[in-house]
Chains A and B, each alone.
Chain A
Amino acid sequence: MLDVLGLDAATDAVYREMLAHPDDGVTELCRRTGLAEGAVHTALDRLSEMALIRPASGDARRLHAVRPHLAMEILLARKQAEVAAQQQQLEESRAAAVRLISEFAGDDPEASRDDVEHLRGLDNIRDHLAVMNKAVRSELMTFAPGGPQTADNMRNSRPLTQELLGRGVAIRTIYLDSIRNDPATVAHAEWLTSVGAQVRAVPTLPNRMIIADRRVAIMATDCDDTADGAIVIRTPGVLATLCSLFETTWQAAEPFAAPVQPPAEDALTPQQHEALRLLAQGATDETVAKRLGVSPRTARRISTALMAHLDARSRFQAGVHAVQRGLFGD
């Protein structure tokens, strides 16, 4: 990239590593670039010099000192550096994904040390999940949005589930409330509970996601098309955030085995409440259906019930009444 700018290879390498690893000092730069310490120091001299001068407009041979820098310019430069670093990270992730596929036959899921990887297509995702299931030691946390699974899928997953539980892996899965309407899924959830997994349900989930041992998360890149691709994350800070999101959702979720509490006379069901929240955000019936994991017809039925509950003859009036009753909290 930079060689076209007339940078020598060593300076180019040092500059890239500095962008990609802002925490690095000279010692780390030597290790990363394979350059001797003297060569790294020379590269830093060159970089400092480049920051000092630029061609005067119209005459590339005359050099001017850079004018006093506005904070905005520095921010812009930092932003460019970030973009360059992200670009490099993306390239590394691609390379890592290729490496992972080629190494998949081996038994070393830790072979790739990259923080973030992109997986394209359902096959890659399945392969990666297989590796993850093999490697997991203590805990699996899952957001499982979407409608009911096929009976085959559920049956096929049982031996793996039993194997994991047998190894002492704690399994917690959060489904959508809507799957309570599907007898086969309910039976499967009951089976899961009977063998020791924990299952809960909530009205909506943000995305399909699986966290293993609080160290690796895999989630769909597009929450509307979970088969399209997935991202594998090992960044500790991101993992901590995702685990905390899971725990918060888990606390708010209803145990699957327990019947949904009948609503108090004046209260909405959690599903109605969620539909109301989504509609208030401008969601269409279709979006509401997708997020709640129900058919469009069911979503319309929920809306109709909601309007009846709010004693409203139009959606607009429903919104006004909902606000008047304080249903949106703060």
Chain B
Amino acid sequence: MLLVHLTLDPPPGGEPLPHDIGSLLRACATREDGLEHVSVHAAAAPWPVVGVFLGRTDLASAEVAAERLWRRAVARRPRLAAWRLRRAEAPLLRPELLRPDGGET
């Protein structure tokens, strides 16, 4: 299972992400996507982020699937097109970066 972060550019009005974005994505997912979990980080700075956990082990295919899932959600609810998808990328899951000593490389 891999985590892909969908990083979104909000519309100029600074409108918040629809509160049901998680369930919308779940409803748009196909069996092939292998969507296991959605985490919404609407208040993340500087851009809102939606984390999707996909039942895949190949990074590239997970990123492609996440992006496709977002496109499908936009198709189903055209208003979402106001949020531009900046990127669909697997983030670093590196808890050691939260160490008190920083762990910066």
Q: What are the residues of chain B within 8 A of A51 when measuring CB–CB?
A: 3, 5, 51, 91-94
A121 at the interface (CB under 8 A from B): no
The count of A-to-B residue pairs whose CB atoms sit within 8 angstroms is 98
Cβ-defined contact, B1 with A15, below 8 A: no
Cβ-defined contact, B94 with A77, below 8 A: yes
The answer for the CA separation of A120 and B44 in the assembled complex, in Å, is 51
Q: Which A residues, 36 to 71, have Cβ-Cβ distances below 8 Å to chain B? A: 41, 44-45, 47-55, 57, 60, 63-66, 68-69
Q: What are the residues of chain A within 8 A of B5 when measuring CB–CB?
A: 48, 51-52
Cβ-defined contact, B39 with A15, below 8 A: no
Q: What are the residues of chain B within 8 A of A44 when measuring CB–CB?
A: 3, 36-37, 39, 51, 53
CB distance from A57 to the nearest CB of B (A): 6
Q: What are the residues of chain B within 8 A of A6 when measuring CB–CB?
A: 98
CB distance from A33 to the nearest CB of B (A): 13
Are A52 and B44 CB-contacts (below 8 A) given A5-B99, A44-B39, A74-B92?
yes
* Per-residue B-contact encoding for A60-93, CB less than 8 Å = 1, 0 else: 1001111011000110011011000000000000
B97 at the interface (CB under 8 A from A): yes
B102 at the interface (CB under 8 A from A): yes
Question: Which listed residue (A23, A45, A52, A63) contacts B91, Cβ 8 A?
Answer: A52
CB distance from A121 to the nearest CB of B (A): 36
Are A48 and B3 CB-contacts (below 8 A) given A22-B57, A26-B36, A78-B59?
yes
Cβ-defined contact, A50 with B1, below 8 A: no
The size class of the interface chain B forms with chain A is: 20 to 34
A308 at the interface (CB under 8 A from B): no
CB distance from B29 to the nearest CB of A (A): 13
A7 at the interface (CB under 8 A from B): yes
Q: Which B residues, 60 to 105, have Cβ-Cβ distances below 8 Å to chain A? A: 87, 89-100, 102, 104
CB distance from A107 to the nearest CB of B (A): 37
A18 at the interface (CB under 8 A from B): yes
CB distance from B99 to the nearest CB of A (A): 6
Cβ-defined contact, B93 with A25, below 8 A: no
Given A23-B55, A49-B39, 4 other A-B contacts at CB below 8 A?
A6-B98, A48-B41, A69-B92, A74-B89
Interface residues of B (CB under 8 A from A): 1-3, 5, 34, 36-37, 39, 41, 44-47, 49, 51, 53, 55, 57, 59, 87, 89-100, 102, 104
10 contacts between A and B (CB under 8 A): A6-B98, A23-B1, A44-B51, A49-B51, A51-B92, A55-B98, A63-B45, A65-B49, A77-B92, A81-B93
